[in-house]
Amino acid sequence: MGIERLGYVQVRVTDLNVARAYYTNVLGLREVEVTADRAYLKAWDEHDHHSLILRQAATSGLDHIGWKLESAADLEQIETRAERAGARVERLPADADLATGPAIRFETPSNHIVSLYFGMQKVGNGLPKLNPMPRPAGLIGIAPPRLDHLLVTTEHVPESTRFFESVLGFRLVEQVVTDDGVQVAAFLERTRTPHDIAFVPGRDGGLHHFAYWLDNFSDLAPAADLLRMNKIGIDIGPTRHGITRGHTIYFFDPAGNRNEVFTGGYYVDSDFEPISWSADQLGPAIFYYEGKLNEAFLSVYS
């Protein structure tokens, strides 16, 4: 009951066609639907209509975050909890445009808009339900199987953590804390992975990155090759995070939104005791191999 997983992110791009070309040919998502100012895309092994909406706009950045609910009853429960926590909740009817069932939407203490929905149109993963092959033929680009998580920036990390814990049922897995015990970054989960969302320092409402899953460390090499063969700048990687233990590559879409391919991590029990990183260990916490942040990590985001 409650939030099932990160359903989709809607991000702004400054040239929709350029972004579509990148997300389909290089990242290797499938384009499910295109409208005048939007493109709906999904990773190949996702069954729902989309995990990414690109919206043509003057700037890059995050419009809202879609969370898939396990049941219709979750809508009401979360609405109640969100309102008690002071959020102004908007009810949305089933939306043909978003291909979703009924939803609620509100702003978090970090000034991010979250949309919680029950029921998204299913388009399938391109494989039959009878005797399927392990993957469809003819995948192109990096072709990750699915969306994994996102990081957002905020000036209110502790408040955001508490809101996501108390209102949305997330569990804290890892955090960075100062000597004075102030939480400066927080990694939270709903799916027994090290993070479905994380909060890092930055302006409220910012998008640090969203990440697609890869199955194996060895998949990072052809992914990095494809990025560079297509002249996509790699921010950092392949490298490893201390936090989450995941292996990663960061890079930017043509509009400047940071993308990640991520693999690894670990299984998280519901009674997992959170891991803490002291602020002076932020370097290895973020980039375990380098032992220090690269310049862009905390300063460049959309």
Q: Which residues bind a second copy (CB under 8 A)?
A: 1, 4-5, 45, 47-48, 68, 70, 122, 129-135, 137, 145-146, 191-192, 213, 215-218, 221, 224-225, 227-229, 233-234, 237-240, 242, 245, 247, 264, 266-267, 269-270, 272-278, 281, 284-285, 288-291
**Shortest gap between Cβ of 275 and a second copy (angstroms)?**
5
Q: Is 40 among the catalytic positions? A: no
Considering the candidates 49, 195, 208, 247, report the single residue annotated as catalytic. Answer: 195
Considering the candidates 149, 174, 208, 247, report the single residue annotated as catalytic. Answer: 149
Task: Please say which residue, 86 or 266, places its beta carbon nearer to a second copy.
Answer: 266
Q: How far apart are CA 144 and CA 65, in angstroms?
A: 20
Q: Is 49 among the catalytic positions? A: no
**Shortest gap between Cβ of 45 and a second copy (angstroms)?**
6
Task: Please say which residue, 199 or 251, places its beta carbon nearer to a second copy.
Answer: 251
**Shortest gap between Cβ of 137 and a second copy (angstroms)?**
6
Q: The tokens of 235 are what?
A: 């921010």
Q: Is 250 among the catalytic positions? A: yes
Q: How far apart are CA 139 and CA 275, in angstroms?
A: 38
Task: Please say which residue, 275 or 300, places its beta carbon nearer to a second copy.
Answer: 275
**Shortest gap between Cβ of 266 and a second copy (angstroms)?**
6
Task: Please say which residue, 102 or 145, places its beta carbon nearer to a second copy.
Answer: 145
**Shortest gap between Cβ of 224 and a second copy (angstroms)?**
5
CA distances from 38 to 14, 19, 50, 53, 209 (A): 11, 11, 12, 7, 19
Distance, CA of 287 to chain centre: 19
Residues sharing a CB contact under 8 Å with residue 246, sequence separation 6 or more, in sequence order? 194, 240, 262, 263, 264, 265
The helix/strand/coil state of 287 is coil
According to DSSP, the residues that pair with 186 across neighbouring strands are 175, 199
Among candidate residues 191, 194, 185, the one with its CA nearest the CA of residue 161: 185
- Residue that has been written with the tokens 């350029």 in this structure: 18
Considering the candidates 209, 212, 247, 301, report the single residue annotated as catalytic. Answer: 209
Considering the candidates 8, 22, 40, 250, report the single residue annotated as catalytic. Answer: 250
Dihedral of CA 269/270/273/277: which sign?
A: positive
Task: Please say which residue, 87 or 286, places its beta carbon nearer to a second copy.
Answer: 286
Q: Is 195 among the catalytic positions? A: yes
Helix (H) or strand (E) holding 45: none
CA distances from 217 to 214, 245, 255, 264 (A): 8, 12, 27, 7
Q: Is 64 among the catalytic positions? A: no
Q: How far apart are CA 232 and CA 257, in angstroms?
A: 12
Considering the candidates 212, 241, 247, 301, report the single residue annotated as catalytic. Answer: 241
**Shortest gap between Cβ of 6 and a second copy (angstroms)?**
11
Task: Please say which residue, 90 or 266, places its beta carbon nearer to a second copy.
Answer: 266
Which are the catalytic amino acids? 149, 195, 209, 241, 250, 260
